[in-house]
């Protein structure tokens, strides 16, 4: 499946998914967006649906979303069990992702 031209024309860093989504753990509505650069790679690969992980909340947890080629979430799972590799490279990558809006 190929993304619609409507999405391909949009400029910016992030594309919002189309449908609404509530975290199954905290019940909050979460805005999900895909980084533009990554979206272009995913469009080339055409491997849908692809997983997208959103970390949030206290205690920290995650919402795993599967997103289809038409920018709609097809499935959601909540993840309470998280683990980070405790090395400098991982911390640097987390901070890099944090400082980059998406
Ligand atoms: Zn949540």
> Residue 102's pLDDT is what?
59
Query: Which of 2, 76, 1 is closest to 32 using CA atoms?
Result: 76
Cα 67 to Cα 65: distance, rounded to the nearest angstrom? 6
Across 38-49, average pLDDT: 87
Average pLDDT taken over every residue of the chain: 85
Task: Tell me, in angstroms, the distance from the centre of ligand 1 to residue 67's CA.
Answer: 18
Sign, Cα dihedral of 33, 35, 39, 41: negative
Does pTM top 0.75 for this prediction?
yes
Separation of 66 CA from ligand 1 center, angstroms? Answer: 16
Q: Does the pLDDT of residue 13 top 70, yes or no?
A: yes
Ligand 1 centroid, distance to 82 Cα (angstroms): 13
- pLDDT value at residue 6: 44
Enumerate the domain spans of the chain. 5-99
| DSSP character at residue 88 | H
- Ligand 1 centroid to residue 34 C-alpha, Å: 18
């Amino acid at each position: 499946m190929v993304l619609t031209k409507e999405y391909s024309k949009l400029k910016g860093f992030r594309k919002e998914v189309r449908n609404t989504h509530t975290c199954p753990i905290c019940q909050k509505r979460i805005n999900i967006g895909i980084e533009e650069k990554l979206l272009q790679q995913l469009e080339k690969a055409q491997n849908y649906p692809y997983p997208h992980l959103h970390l949030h909340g206290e205690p920290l947890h995650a919402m795993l979303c599967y997103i289809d080629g038409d920018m709609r979430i097809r499935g959601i799972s909540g993840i309470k069990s998280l683990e980070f590799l405790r090395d400098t490279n991982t911390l640097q990558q987390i901070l890099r992702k944090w400082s980059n809006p998406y």
